[in-house]
Structure 1
Amino acid sequence: MAVFTEVSPAQAQALLDHLRLGQLSSLRGIGAGIENTNYFVDCTGDDGHLHRYVLTLFERLTAEQLPFYLRLMQHLAQRGVPVPEPHADAAGDILFQVAGKPAAIVDRLHGGHQMAPDAFHCQQVGATLAQMHLAGRDFPLKQPNLRGLAWWREVAPQLLPFLDEAQASLLRSELAYQEQLAASADYAHLRAELSGPIHADLFRDNVMFEPGEGPGRERLTGFFDFYFAGCDTWLFDLAVCLNDWCIDLSDGRLIEERAAVFVAAYESVRPLSGAEHRLLPALLRAAALRFWLSRLFDLHLPREASLLKAHDPRHFERVLRARIDRPWHALHDGVAE
């Protein structure tokens, strides 16, 4: 759990009063996340019922950057995508100050995480991801993926001194490979025609499910934690998901049957282009590199927090090596064109 900034009940109540949401009954730090300060906020509304929200204080993102994330969530929610909608005040503002930090309060999704997903969960996530991409096409704000290639170039030299010879060689060679990919005509086509706002961090712990009809038939209730979102290729977003939802966590191996189901569900809403099919193996490598770098960064160059445990970077090192050793082509592995 990361709590970088302590919030008092009085400070939380002041924001609830401003938004006319009710009387605070519970304020509890959330036991997940390493980028922002998050609290569960329960309150009693004017209707006498309990209402549940999430309060986020932004530790790295600036007040200039934040409208992109918050307005994107608002845009998606208003188009029927299941995401937490930020609460606005009477003037329509959705970004506030709490304990000296930019802050927002959003609806809390129902249900819980599914950390051992099966094909049924992957079907729902894949289809909803495609729905989200299509719904974001007319979102007017622009912001690059702040953990994209430019960031990889910046942090790689800072991280090399912490790596052994084999790891340093892997990092250098993969970064060169991704630079070459970014200069290709196929990738330029993706950037120009098949891109838009993406979540960029849609792991198992950023999706909620609740019990549905029949045993094991959980229903997806929403995506959350959009604070790594940015404008990038939709294929990169899909690759991030495949590298988490469809792998053996012990060794990073892609579970190809589950990945095929995920991609088929995505394509039932938004079919992939030929260029996307050609570049999927390379983007799976790119997504693995991105999270290997960020986990190395959080481990070796951390910030102070009340409670902070960095994720193990060796996991995504294994994922990256697995994607290099066994490239996966969806069309050749059971997904119909």
Structure 2
Amino acid sequence: MLSADLAPPALARPARDVTERLAGEIDANLAPLLPALAAEPFALLDFPNHGNVGDSAIWLGELSWLQRRAGRGPALTCHVEERPDRLPPGPILLHGGGNFGDVWPQFQAFREEVLDRHRGHPVVQMPQSIHYADPSAIDRTARAIERHGAFTLLVRDRPSLELARRHFPCEVRLCPDMAFALGPLPRPAPPSHEGLMLLRTDKEGVGQPVPALPEGWRVEDWLEDDPDMYRTVLARTRRAALLSLDPRRLTRRARSLHMANQLAEWRLRRGVAQLSRARFVITDRLHVHIVATLLGLPHVFLDNSYGKIGRFSEAFGTLWDGASRADTLGEAMERARAHRDAA
């Protein structure tokens, strides 16, 4: 039997309530941007062209919000290895996530280069978690923001908010992760196995030893793209452009944006299917916690290497009657057993 100190919190809050509340907070925080986004074409830069499903969930949430509230999507995108010659006249939006700081330096270098190349042009950083190991890197970012002079920074936890307001000369707001703009998601199929430990295999993982698993459990991550994805999406993008008979859809920019969105949709479908095969999930990935909430899928989360998940959950109250937090994998497995016994 699960001891009282390991029992999940007694919440009478369904997942849909959390999803709808945070979608409303996104609307409230981004509402001031709407006039500029609706008036002129804008860019959404730093397309996440990698297999991590979480970044694709954020990207698609950003697109969903822009289409629904601003009435249009971005006119241009690029990933961190690209440098577009000319940007649209509207604001520059930077993709949200968890790479603001020096944990993933290539993304921060791209961000600061955008600020230096487009000084005075409004730039909005969509919601990010901030983490620096090197204090001198904070100073470098602060100087880039000061030189730019028209930067708005959205963050998704209170320590990030406090750090940014203390060091960065710009407007800073607290805003939920943009994946919540997707709204509730349907599970594509009934579960086929008892449980899934979806654990980080990158530098943000904490490396806790995995306990012996009961029958019907698996250990996975969600970083691997399907082998046929690029070829299939590229063929579909070319065919859609040709069949449209619309010169605007034949441009390189239009095809690049269409392909980016299709890749993100493919990756999110993969992640949703992966999670939906389990009756219960244990994870140390923030977007497994978020996507599982959108699915209404019972789960327990542990924190990553620098506390990103707990900080986000505390800022926005993301626990619900099927979701709780644990400190160790052993504790999380106890929660899973209690859920099974109560079902």
The TM-score, its normalising length taken from structure 2, stands at 0.26
